[in-house]
Amino acid sequence: MRGMRWLLLVAIAAILGGVVYQYRAQKKLLAGHTPVAPAPLSPGLSASSQHWQYRDRDLKTGRIKSDIDAESMQQVKDASRVDLKSVTMKIYGKDGSTYDLVKSAAATFNTEEKSLYSQGDVEITLNLPIEGPPPGQPTVIKTSGLTCDSTTGRVDTEQPSSFVFEKGDGKASGATYDPTSHELLMKRDVEVHWHPPGNNAKPMKIEAGTLAYHETTSEIWLKPWGRMTRESTIVEGNDVVVKLQDKVIRNITAVAAHGTEDYPTRKLRYAADEIAMDFDDDGLAQKIKGNRNASLVSTTDASETTVTADRVDMEFQPDGRESVLTQVAATGNAVVTSKPLAAPGRQLSETHVMRSQTLEMKMRPGGREMESVVTKAPGTLEFLPNQPAQHHRMLDGNNFVIAYGPENRVDSFRASNVKTRTDPTAEERRRARGASTTTSRDLEARFDPKTSRLGNMQQTGDFAYEEGDRKARAAKATMDADQNLILLDSSARMWDATGSTTADRIRLDQRTGDFLAEGNVTSSRLPEKDQKKNSEMLSGDDPLQATARKMDSRNRNRQIHYEGAVHMWQGANRIQADVVDVDRDLDPQKRSLVADGHVVTNLWEEPKDDKKKKAGPPVLTEVHAAHMVYTETNRLTYYTGGVQLSRPGLQVKGQELRAFLSEAGADSRLEKAYADGAVEIFSSGKDRTRTGTGEHAEYYTADQKVILRGPRVKMVEKVFVNPQPSTTEGKEAIYFANDDRLLMTGEPEKPGNSRINRKKGK
């Protein structure tokens, strides 16, 4: 915006030159000039002259100040008016090398009001050389209806004025210049077209309701409104103040202002109650400061970014013939909203909203897209879904640093002292999913560069998670947003209304509630309130406890897989195995418990004495096997792979064993057991032991009866007082442990036989 000094030159030339000198020349003419042999005056005239000339010199130096030439002069008789026609005036510069030329078809001087008035057109040409043609386009001003106060030198016109100067042109309706205050006022409909001199400068148009130029302060005031247009850049506001330095615009301030920059690949909008702009030599913006209700909107073909705050400061750098936005600082209730725009073949990502008291935004090279947003105070980052499958997320924390990739897509962000909240999608709400929250000391997140969707998020330092009654804690947690998984690492613990699990690592599926725990796993499952839903094998009021190297829980803890040195217990009852699978399905037909590898079960029972109604000593049933399956519908525990059952005074071995559990509330947990395959039974009493072999055995707890069957059943009895054992063989042996009775049955053609060895002499 160089060259605005032309406003001052217009005032000096048009007013002081074209009017004041006319007035002084006329005054000298009337006071001291005596024409030679005047022609007779026309009636009504007191004086007249043809081709009148006047030269004004400096009395001290003799320098010629001005030359005035008029075709005629007439003074009306008995009136204060003097009329001049075809007036030409040259006003010389102090160095005597240039002059200003003023032309007017007619002018009138009022001797009473001491004012000079030109009703017709006035043309003023500035800074013409005394010799030779002008080096360039001289400044030419055209106006009419001009009035000059001879006492103060103040000039005024209400008529349209136009001007042409070396770097542009302009127009206005009405103008006033006061040489005392050095102030020029262009009254209405001001329009200036200016071509700055810089190599990269672009033309600028200045429009205003009124324009006031204050020479002493080098300021231009545009009121009540002003607009500056520079190619695709427009700045508009009220009470605009333009500050000049060395004939170049350096600063503009405005009230209730707004500006736009429209380029093929980007658009910029800014507004505020107060705006201040700084410019360089080429008229390019360097800084824009918006104060109170400040806003900035940057739009590309991919996204729209909006910044609002109490104060917004923008910094620019020149890039050829453009000012490129490089940085934005927002202070006081600052909000940055990045909204993706729809385009064919491009899926909308979430809208991101960053809030803080202070934040800084840096732009990528070219000023089209964001590079980063940094907060200088506590803030919130909100993700607003634009697709049904996207989540609404809210993050509160300190020291946010958000990095952006192409098309203003979020690439990553980090923050400290963070709390997050993730709301379920509509589909998840239909599945009774609730909102989830997390807290941690530090958070880092990365996004898919193609879709800007959250990829993974890592939180470290006292991580905590909650979703409904489900809670978790760990030293570190990583969330995979695509799969909706959370990996808890180091001192991981998770719990809900059904129980808790601790491990070195826990992998949680947020969609299903399934989780995988690994390393030093300890779990505790509370029994179902409805006892009908509890497993009868390890039933009781105590929690179901377990330890293992690995635990896989599915279907809200109804299907649990334990692996690696598994120990499971409920009260005193215990299961050990390499692998244990528990199915607590809502359908009783599907409930089961399966154990594999080095299986050991310990079941304790509290038998009762029917006569005394008092509980007897606890009884332990211990079973060793390679494999075990418990089914809920028939309360059957099926052991295979080489089995050994042990109870007080009784051991049963075989290839497989079926143990039937009693109904709840019975005296004994074990109702009966069937063993098959190379069965061996060992019974011990107070004074003897019995060892039986066969292919099939049955044990009934109620009457302590053992039935042994097979092609050839053999029972060996050893009495402590007789070192020689006795042997009984047959097809079936029935042994009653309560009264130490043994019944052996053989085939009809081969009756059972016994061989009893007694001591000699007996």
- Looking at the DSSP bridge assignments, the partners of residue 234 are 229, 260
Q: pLDDT exceeding 90 applies to what percent of the chain?
A: 35
> What are the distances in angstroms from CA 708 to CA 147, 169, 756?
140, 123, 20
Q: How are beta strands 303-319 and 285-299 bridged, if at all?
A: antiparallel
**Mean local confidence (pLDDT), 164-184:** 80
Q: Does the pLDDT value for residue 653 go beyond 90?
A: yes
Model confidence at 489: pLDDT above 70: yes
With beta carbons less than 8 A apart as the criterion, state whether 601 and 637 touch. yes
* Percent of the chain's residues with pLDDT above 70: 84
Supply the Cα-derived Rg of the chain in whole angstroms: 53
Mean residue pLDDT across the chain: 82
Q: Which amino acid does the sequence have at 486?
A: I
Q: Looking at the DSSP assignment, which residues form a beta bridge with residue 444?
A: 414, 458
Q: Which of 2-11, 317-326, 597-606 has the lowest mean pLDDT?
A: 2-11
Q: Count CB neighbours of 68 within 10 A.
A: 23
Q: Residue 266: is its pLDDT beyond 90?
A: no
Domain-located, residue 336: no
- What is the arithmetic mean of pLDDT over 581-607? 86
Hey, how many other C-beta atoms are within 10 angstroms of the C-beta on 633? 11
- Residues 19-37 have a mean pLDDT of 43
* Structure tokens belonging to residue 106: 């007619």
Classify residue 241 as exposed, middle or buried by CB count within 10 Å of its CB (0-12, 13-18, 19+). Answer: buried
Residue 312 has what pLDDT?
95
Position 29 pLDDT exceeds 60: no
Q: What is the mean pLDDT of residues 367-383?
A: 88
Supply the CATH number for residue 551's domain. 2.60.450.10
Q: Which of 194-198, 399-403, 506-510 has the lowest mean pLDDT?
A: 194-198
Q: How far apart are CA 419 and CA 375, in angstroms?
A: 16
Instruction: Report the sign of the C-alpha dihedral through residues 495, 499, 503, 505, in that order.
Output: negative
Q: How many domains does the chain have?
A: 2
Residues 6+ apart with CB under 8 A from 54: 25, 28, 29, 33, 67, 68
- Which of 117, 136, 155 is the C-terminal boundary of a domain? 136
Model confidence at 615, pLDDT cuts 50, 70, 90, reads low
Distance CA 280, CA 200 (A): 11
Query: Would the pLDDT of 760 be above 60?
Result: no
Q: What is the pLDDT of residue 349?
A: 82
| pLDDT value at 13 more than 80 | no
pLDDT at 40 over 60: no
**Residue type at 637 in one-letter notation:** T
Tokens of 305: 């970014």
Nearest to 281 by CA among 692, 2, 606: 2
The per-residue pLDDT for range 380-432, each reduced to its tens digit, is 999 899 988 888 999 999 999 988 888 777 888 899 999 999 899 898 888 88
Per-residue pLDDT, 382: 93
Structure tokens of 659? 């143990």
Mean pLDDT of 303-324: 87
Residue 758: left if φ>0, alpha if ψ -120 to 50, beta else—which one? beta
Cα separation, 697 vs 705, in Å, equals: 10
Q: Rounded distance, CA 644 to CA 623, Å?
A: 5
Q: Tell me: cis bond preceding 224? Omega within 30 of 0 counts.
A: yes
Residue 431 included in any domain: no
DSSP 165-178: ETTEEEEEEEEEEE
Q: How far apart are CA 335 and CA 315, in angstroms?
A: 18
CB-based contacts of 687-690 (< 8 A; 24+ apart in sequence): 687/719, 687/720, 687/721, 688/717, 688/718, 688/719, 688/720, 688/740, 689/717, 689/718, 690/715, 690/716, 690/717, 690/718, 690/735, 690/742
For residue 497, the model assigns a pLDDT of 84
Among 136, 156, 172, identify where a domain stops.
Answer: 136
Q: Kindly report the number of other CB atoms within 10 A of residue 678's CB atom.
A: 13
For tokens 């530090």, the residue is 442
104, 136, 168 - which closes a domain: 136
Q: How far is CA 321 from CA 198, 229, 264, 317, in A?
A: 10, 14, 14, 11
* Higher-scoring residue by pLDDT: 8, 587: 587
What's the burial of 97, exposed, middle or buried (CB within 10 Å: 0-12/13-18/19+)? exposed
- The average pLDDT across 453-474 equals 90
Mean pLDDT of 457-476: 92
User: Band of the pLDDT at 175, cuts 50, 70, 90?
Assistant: confident
Q: What is the pLDDT of residue 315?
A: 92
Identify the pLDDT of residue 313: 94
> Rounded to an integer, what distance in angstroms lies between the CA atom of residue 270 and that of residue 473?
46
Predicted pLDDT of residue 5 = 34
Per-residue pLDDT band at 539 (split at 50, 70, 90): low
Specify the pairing of strand 379-384 against strand 370-375.
unpaired
For the stretch 350-361, pLDDT in tens is 888 999 999 999
Query: Which residues are CB-contacts of 407 (< 8 A; sequence separation ≥ 6)?
Result: 300, 302, 303, 340, 369
Is there a domain that residue 523 lies in? yes
- The per-residue pLDDT for 9 is 35
Examine residue 557 and state whether it is found in any structural domain, yes or no.
yes
Decide if pLDDT at 481 tops 90.
no
Give the pLDDT score at 191: 93
Among 354-363, 596-605, 744-753, the minimum mean pLDDT is found in: 744-753
Three-state SS string over 463-531 comes to EEEEECCEEEEEEEEEEECCCCEEEEEEEEEEEECCEEEEEEEEEEECCCCCEEEEEEEEEEECCCCCH
Cα–Cα distance measured from residue 325 to residue 336, given in angstroms and rounded to the nearest whole number: 16
In a domain? residue 491? no
In a domain, 311, yes or no: no
DSSP code string of 101-117 = EEEEEEEEEETTTTEEE
How is residue 483 written in tokens? 């799969």
Assigned domain for 249 exists: no
* Residues 556-572: tens digit of each pLDDT: 788 899 999 999 998 88
In a domain, 582, yes or no: yes
Task: Look at residue 755 in the predicted model and tell me its pLDDT.
Answer: 46
Tell me which of 199 and 294 has the higher pLDDT.
Answer: 294
Residue 80, token pair as written in the block: 């204060």
Q: Which domain holds residue 547?
A: 501-755
Query: Residue 225 and residue 205: Cα distance in Å, rounded?
Result: 14
Residue 31: pLDDT band by 50, 70, 90 thresholds?
very low
CB distance 711 to 738 below 8 Å: no
